């Protein structure tokens, strides 16, 4: 199955810029479906970026993060070819992990 995570990590000198796009409904639990029933909350709670054995960036998300979330950040200390590990877990116990080579 295709990964829910799409990542682009580019090293420019000492700084690596990371952009990630994740496929996830991010349901708030406050919206009703066309039959008038509440759609239960379903959202990513934690998203982690790990590089060379270190958590470089951790996101804690609530329901106010948009559907199919996007996040961008940069960090130092990695070089081209290093692996970046990305993983998320949601409030229903779902999760996904992927790795990306820094380009």
Contact residues toward another protein (CB under 8 A) are 15, 26, 28, 30-34, 45-46, 54-67, 69-77
Q: How far apart are the C-alpha atoms of 83 and 100, rounded to whole Å?
A: 6
Q: Which helix (H) or strand (E) holds 46?
A: strand 44-51
Shortest distance, CB of residue 31 to another protein, whole angstroms? 6
Judged by beta carbon, residue 45 or residue 97, the one nearer another protein is 45
**C-alpha distance from residue 4 to each of 36, 49, 70, 71 (Å):** 29, 15, 12, 14
**What are the tokens at 63?**
């329901």
Judged by beta carbon, residue 1 or residue 34, the one nearer another protein is 34
Shortest distance, CB of residue 103 to another protein, whole angstroms? 18
Shortest distance, CB of residue 63 to another protein, whole angstroms? 7
Judged by beta carbon, residue 62 or residue 101, the one nearer another protein is 62
CA atoms within 13 A of residue 41's CA, in its CB half-sphere:
14
């Amino acid at each position: 199955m295709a990964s829910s995570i799409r990542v682009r990590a580019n090293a420019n000198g000492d700084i690596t810029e990371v952009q990630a796009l994740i496929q996830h409904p991010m349901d708030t639990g406050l919206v009703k479906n066309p039959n008038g029933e509440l759609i239960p909350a379903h959202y990513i709670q934690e998203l982690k970026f790990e590089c060379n054995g270190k958590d470089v960036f951790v996101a804690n998300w609530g329901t106010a993060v948009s559907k199919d979330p996007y996040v961008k950040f940069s960090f130092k200390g990695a070089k081209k070819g290093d692996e970046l590990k990305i993983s998320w877990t949601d409030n229903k116990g779902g999760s996904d992990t992927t790795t990306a080579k820094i380009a």
